[in-house]
Amino acid sequence: MLASALSCPSTNTLFRKYGRTDEDRKMTVPPNSFRHLQNTELFRLGLADTLITKRFDRSHVVNSYEYDHRSLSEELDQIELDPELECRLGENTATVARLLKSGRARGPILDSFHRIQMEQGDEAAFEYLRAEADGFHCTPYGHCITSFLVDRCPKHLQCFCGCKYLCATDLPETRSNLVQLRSKLQKTVETIEGRMLASQRTAKALSSGAPGASEALVLEPVINFIPVE
């Protein structure tokens, strides 16, 4: 009955009855949305994924994460670090460490962290991270993990031009922005080539724009990572 009152377009839904505008009256709520909502809220409350899986009678725990719609920020808040390590790293670097532990990001600095961790151990890896990843900024193309307190942006805010501080995640918004940017840059390159301009500025635009966006799109989140204690 509830599903019919909210989602069935052929019946007199609650939206059609009480909506103020025509747009409001056309609204519906798919019945499966309530499963997604409940699943997400249980994760937000900190319930174990095994219990959530049992609650919905699923075969595998991984299926419950398909219904998990928490934001990246919410997921990072749930990841615990050693209090002493967190204090030593500072707020921004600790956020990057949580991102590393989540396995949902990749970038040159993070790849170097994993390599150092394997070759020299946790202590050296976290010292490297503290020195290199002392900032955390949200950009349209991913997360920037450098601080601008001393030096300006080395890429003049063009994160997609091979910047080692770009930290790519699996967020659909950032990938969509990169796809759109690559398309625009490719059209710009075609226009420049069509006019046969040979200035130094033209050569730089041809060599750094679209290829940089393509390289950023190649970055995928690290799934198999070394657990951070």
Return the amino acid letter for 33: S
Evaluate whether 151 touches 135 at the Cβ level (below 8 Å). no
Average pLDDT on 153-158 reads 82
**pTM of the shown model:** 0.59
pLDDT of residue 226: 42
The full 3-state SS of 148-205, as one line of letters, equals CCCCCCCCCCCCCCCCCCEEEECCHHHHHHHHHHHHHHHHHHHHHHHHCCCCHHHHHH
Q: What is the mean pLDDT of the chain?
A: 79
Q: From residue 97, give the alpha-carbon distance in Å to each of 65, 81, 109, 116, 154.
A: 22, 8, 12, 14, 23
Average pLDDT on 212-221 reads 58
Q: From residue 101, give the alpha-carbon distance in Å to each of 10, 70, 118, 222, 227.
A: 48, 17, 15, 10, 6
pLDDT of residue 102: 81
**Cα–chain-centroid distance for residue 178?**
13
Q: Give CA–CA dist 172/21, Å, rounded.
A: 31
In the sheet with 105-106, reading across from the earlier edge strand, the strands are 105-106, 166-169, 142-144, 137-139
pLDDT of residue 51: 92
Q: What values do phi and psi take at 106, rounded to 5?
A: -150, 150
pLDDT of residue 73: 78
Average pLDDT on 64-90 reads 84
Return the amino acid letter for 133: A
pLDDT of residue 69: 83
End-to-end CA, the chain? 49
Tallying the residues shown for the chain, one arrives at 229
218 or 176: which leads in pLDDT: 176
Confidence of residue 197 (pLDDT cuts 50, 70, 90): low
pLDDT of residue 163: 85
Torsion of CA 79, 85, 89, 95, to 10 degrees: 0
Task: Tell me the percentage of the chain whose pLDDT exceeds 70.
Answer: 80
Q: Angle 216-132-125 (CA atoms, 0-180°, nearest 5)?
A: 100
